[in-house]
Amino acid sequence: AQKVTQAQTEISVVEKEDVTLDCVYETRDTTYYLFWYKQPPSGELVFLIRRNSFDEQNEISGRYSWNFQKSTSSFNFTITASQVVDSAVYFCALAGGFKTIFGAGTRLFVKA
Amino acid sequence: DTGVSQDPRHKITKRGQNVTFRCDPISEHNRLYWYRQTLGQGPEFLTYFQNEAQLEKSRLLSDRFSAERPKGSFSTLEIQRTEQGDSAMYLCASSLDYQPHYFGPGTRLLVL
């Protein structure tokens, strides 16, 4: 069975702090995809990044970076120099076969 | 590219009534998904279409739920004999194969 665990329910930081959101997944598939989505207060889910199971290269996009480690089944997301606009719920997701399974999400509060 | 649209955005109904929601995906996307999201949770998979074929349906989905995607274009999700436990946000998403989901704004259902 597939499973995605986001152990951090809520995180609160002060603007300009770095913050890491954890994601641990379980799957028996050898080919799968991992995603991060952002759900701002307005409600609509927005795609941030996709990785496939054969590509363990870390990725950086502006203030965002992702660390994919198959050995620990983790796909962590770091925001550097956080901003108030980063306040949202962030979901990690795992796709294999026809289904995409989402974690329960981590709510990030960034205070000015 | 007009994005994924859903109609209605809000629906209030009385227990026992039937409701139908519509989703218009991005036109070139072959995959269409329905999810349900309750407060504080991640999107929960309901069903998936590849073109007009419904390829997977969650075991959580009771017989009161039915979805269609005629001609592989828009999709409808019908809930018969609604119950208070059906109150949730119903999300539609579309994608090309394993490309990221593009989510619609959702339909918020309240069953009184």
Q: Which of A37, A46, A98 sits opposite B56 (nearest CB)?
A: A98
Nearest to B87 by CA among B5, B6, B17: B17
Residue B104, pLDDT > 90, answer yes
- Residues of B numbered 42-61 whose beta carbons fall under 8 angstroms of chain A's beta carbons: which are they? 42-45, 48, 50, 55-56
d(CA A82, nearest CA chain B) in Å: 22
The answer to whether the CB atoms of A100 and B101 lie below 8 A apart is: yes
CA B43 remoteness from chain centre: 11
In the predicted structure, residue A84 carries a pLDDT above the cut 70? yes
Structure confidence at residue A42 (pLDDT): 81
- According to the model, what pLDDT value does residue B38 have? 93
d(CA B58, CA B48): 9
A48 vs A96, higher pLDDT? A48
Q: How far does A23 lie from chain B, in Å, by closest CA? A: 13
Specify the higher pLDDT residue, B6 or B96.
Answer: B6
B107 sits in which H/E element: strand B107-111
Using the Cβ of A37 and the Cβ atoms of chain B, whether some distance falls under 8 Å is answered with: yes
Q: A35 to chain B, minimum CA–CA distance in Å?
A: 8
Confidence grade of residue A77 (pLDDT, cut at 50, 70, 90): very high
The rounded percent of chain B whose pLDDT value lies above 90 is 73
Residues B84-112 have a mean pLDDT of 93
Q: Six-digit token pair at B81?
A: 């004999």
Residue among B13, B37, B30 at smallest CA distance from A98: B30
Q: Determine contact, residues B23/B4, Cβ cutoff 8 Å.
A: yes
pLDDT value of residue B1? 55
Average pLDDT of the segment spanning A73-94: 96
Q: What CATH number corresponds to the domain at position A53?
A: 2.60.40.10
Contact A47 B43 (CB under 8 A): no
Lowest-confidence region among A17-31, A82-96, B48-62: B48-62
> For residue A87, what are the domain limits?
3-111
Which is more confidently placed, B83 or B57?
Answer: B83
- Residue A33, beta-bridge partner list: A52, A95
Count of domains forming chain A: 1
pLDDT tens-place string over residues A34-69: 999 999 988 889 999 999 998 888 888 899 999 999
Contact criterion met (CB < 8 Å) for B104 and A35? no
3 state SS for A49-112:
EEEECCCCCCEEECCEEEEEEHHHCEEEEEECCCCHHHCEEEEEEEEECCEEEECCCEEEEEEC
Chains A and B form CB pairs within 8 A to the count of 52
Strand partners, B45: B35
Q: Please determine, for residue B60, whether its predicted confidence score (pLDDT) is greater than 80.
A: no
Query: Using a CB-CB distance cutoff of 8 angstroms, which residues of chain A are in contact with residue B99?
Result: 50
pLDDT digits (tens, 9 = 90+) for B2-47: 799 999 999 999 999 999 999 999 999 999 999 999 988 999 999 9
Question: What is the nearest CA distance from A103 to chain B, expressed in angstroms?
Answer: 6
Inter-chain residue contact A104 with B41, CB threshold 8 Å: yes
A98 reaches B (C-beta below 8 A): yes
DSSP classification of residue B62:
-
Chain B residues touching residue A103 (CB < 8 angstroms)? 42
Q: Can you tell me the mean pLDDT for A14-36?
A: 95
